[in-house]
């Protein structure tokens, strides 16, 4: 009889441990960190198709995205984009001859693809919103286009902190 109670207690402990582990994993995934697979070439050469990255989801709970941050943003319920923050609320952004200007000052962007991309007339980023672009400017759906446009702060899920796959490129992406 004692052996049956002991087996029952052990089974209950295993079930409790599994439930607690699942709850911890879900809390981590939804609120603290996420693991994302890059799909597409819009962030080339910084990130390539198939790269896997770690996203800090809690960092923006206490602060806001900054210039140059690589962020994950919700495009719709089924699609997330990886983009770089170029402008914040109140900034003016324009592009001329493959150079991005923020508030009239040319940005130094050593991380972008060498491929040519179109000019873009000056716009002012609304308060509480962001202007984001891919590093592969010629092949990126980003804030220059109406289908994405300016990105509301609530659309930004987190900051990419490092790449863990492929192992040969393991490390920071900033």
Name all domains of the chain by residue range, CATH numbers in brackets.
35-166 (2.10.109.10)
Average pLDDT over residues 99-125: 93
Average pLDDT over residues 62-74: 91
Q: What is the pLDDT of residue 66?
A: 94
Average pLDDT over residues 87-110: 96
Average pLDDT over residues 78-96: 94
- Torsion angle (degrees, nearest 10) of CA 123, 68, 39, 158: -100
pTM for the full predicted model: 0.81
Average pLDDT over residues 127-137: 95
| Cα radius of gyration (the chain) | 21
What is the rounded CA–CA span in Å between residue 43 and residue 7?
A: 54
Q: Which of 159, 155, 154 is nearest to 57 (CA)?
A: 159
| 109 compared with 1, residue with greater pLDDT | 109
Pairing of strands 129-133, 99-102: unpaired
Question: Which residues belong to the active site?
Answer: 42, 83
């Amino acid at each position: 009889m004692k052996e049956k109670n002991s087996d029952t207690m052990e089974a209950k402990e295993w079930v409790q441990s599994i439930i607690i582990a699942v709850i911890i994993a879900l809390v981590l995934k939804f609120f603290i960190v996420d693991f994302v697979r890059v799909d597409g070439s819009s962030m080339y050469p910084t990130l390539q198709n198939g790269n896997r990255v770690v996203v800090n989801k809690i960092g923006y709970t206490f602060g806001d995205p900054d210039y140059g941050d690589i962020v994950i943003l919700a495009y719709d319920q089924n699609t997330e984009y990886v983009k770089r923050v170029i402008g914040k609320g109140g900034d003016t952004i324009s592009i001329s001859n493959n150079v991005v200007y923020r508030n009239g000052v040319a940005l130094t962007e050593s991380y972008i693809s060498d491929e040519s991309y179109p000019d873009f007339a000056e716009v002012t980023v609304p308060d509480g919103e962001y202007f984001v672009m891919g590093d592969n400017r010629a092949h990126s759906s980003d804030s220059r286009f109406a289908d994405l446009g300016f990105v509301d702060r609530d659309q930004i899920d987190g900051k990419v902190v490092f790449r863990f796959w492929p192992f040969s490129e393991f490390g920071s992406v900033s």
